[in-house]
Amino acid sequence: MRLIAERTGRRCLRLPSNRLGLYLALRHWCRPGQRLLMSPVSADEILFLVLAAGLRPVIATLSPGDGNIDASRADLSRVDAVLTTNLYGLPDQMTAFAGKIVIEDVAHALETTFDGRPLGTFGQAGVFSLSKHASAGSGGVLAVEHSADLEALRQARDELMVPGSPLRQVFDVVTSMARQTALKADLVRPALYLARRLGLQEPRDGYRITLKADSLDRALRQAPSLSAFDPWVRADLHDYRARRGYVAHWYQSRRLAQVPAERARRLDGVRLLAELPIVAPAVRDHVDQPLFRVPLLVRDRDAAIAELERHGVAVGYLYDPPYDDYALGYTEPSPDPGPARWWARHVLPINPLYASRALPILMTLAPAPPL
């Protein structure tokens, strides 16, 4: 947690997950019934956290250059707050949201800056993840400016957390370590098989968890309520609000301290992938940023994933279809859903740490058709 505190200059609250931090921030700064502008392309649980907080999701038009909110097409006069995504580490246009309540989801953007300033320092709160750059298993950090907010959030966190299992925490640490070893040893296919067998990944319809509309309607009648939305929010992380103990904190601190040492290698991968004709345009403007993933835009994404897995490259963090289509009737739709559908269908996020391993396959891929 020290690295994030030093990087942001903000007061930091340790959390069992990024998703609990987002809920805390939304409840602290937004009132039930308020309208929240958000990207159409993000993780399943993000949408359900917004609904759990009693807010109305207003889906933005997506920028096809970076997969974030197209700020030039956003009518901020119609919303009360903004939730940024910083997809794969590419920064949202932070200055465009000045004057609004801004909650920054910086799960993918631990090391990203915007105009020379670290993400997580622009809005009322920055919510970080320890499972992305740090690969430290489940964990999060909520960074805020004022001590009064920190104390209120600490109290709210303690009220929402549930007892954790020491045995489960040891299992999580061992699983995380094994996953990292498998990636480095080119054992991706066995690792993916084992993760599925152990139930570490929720069953999905394609790339999204099942919506279960009837159950969701019942949960909405209880909002704001995190417990009512647990069946959706906990996807792939059933202990997302369980207290962590010494073993988990030791492992997280150890992994987080290693992030700066990987920076040069991550940057090398970003620069290598930025030379490909299929790279998302915004990547070329951010080759100085150690991105979490480098988004490529390809014609047949699913075939590319299968081929990459056969060659020891895992691909994840796919959010298809966009919220407009996934949760029709539970959001205020984007005025133009076309860019989000195109992006979600064609994006192929590549870990820059394994760029060299992936490159022979990537060089054969056809670009996505024009939008």
The pLDDT tens digits for 301-357 are 999 999 999 998 999 999 999 999 999 999 999 999 999 999 999 999 999 999 999
Secondary structure (DSSP) of 116-165 = TEETTSSSSEEEEESSSSS--SS-EEEEES-HHHHHHHHHHHHHH-BPPP
Q: Tell me, what DSSP letter sits at residue 211?
A: -
Task: Indicate whether 22 and 149 sit together in one domain.
Answer: yes
- CATH number of the domain where residue 134 is located: 3.40.640.10
Q: Which residues have a Cβ under 8 Å from the Cβ of 100 and sit 6 or more positions away?
A: 76, 79, 80, 81, 82
What is the rounded CA–CA span in Å between residue 323 and residue 66?
17
What is the rounded CA–CA span in Å between residue 259 and residue 119?
16
pTM: 0.95
**In whole numbers, what is the pLDDT of the chain averaged over residues?**
95
How large is the average pLDDT for residues 288-309?
A: 98
* Cis peptide bond upstream of 163, omega within 30: no
Q: Extract the tokens encoding 148.
A: 């009064």
Task: Indicate whether 271 and 154 sit together in one domain.
Answer: no
Q: What is the CA radius of gyration of the chain?
A: 19
Task: Indicate whether 22 and 147 sit together in one domain.
Answer: yes
Task: Indicate whether 30 and 154 sit together in one domain.
Answer: yes
Task: Answer whether residue 320 is part of any domain.
Answer: yes
Q: Which residues have a Cβ under 8 Å from the Cβ of 291 and sit 6 or more positions away?
A: 88, 89, 90, 108, 112, 266, 270, 283, 352
Among 103, 137, 160, residue at a domain's last position: 160
- CATH number of the domain where residue 295 is located: 3.90.1150.10
Handedness of CA 202, 127, 90, 253 (dihedral sign): negative
Task: Answer whether residue 133 is part of any domain.
Answer: yes
Among 160, 189, 221, residue at a domain's last position: 160
Task: Indicate whether 150 and 280 sit together in one domain.
Answer: no
Question: Quick one: pLDDT at residue 174?
Answer: 81
- Write out the residue range of the structural domain in which residue 110 sits: 2-160
Task: Answer whether residue 171 is part of any domain.
Answer: no
Among 126, 160, 194, residue at a domain's last position: 160
The pLDDT tens digits for 93-151 are 999 999 999 999 999 999 999 999 999 999 999 999 999 999 988 999 999 999 999 99
Task: Answer whether residue 41 is part of any domain.
Answer: yes
Domain count of the fold of the chain: 2
Task: Answer whether residue 336 is part of any domain.
Answer: yes
Question: Quick one: pLDDT at residue 176?
Answer: 79
- Cα 150 to its chain centre, rounded Å, is 22
Strand (E) or helix (H) holding 347? strand 347-350
Please report which confidence band the pLDDT of residue 204 belongs to, taking 50, 70 and 90 as the band edges. confident
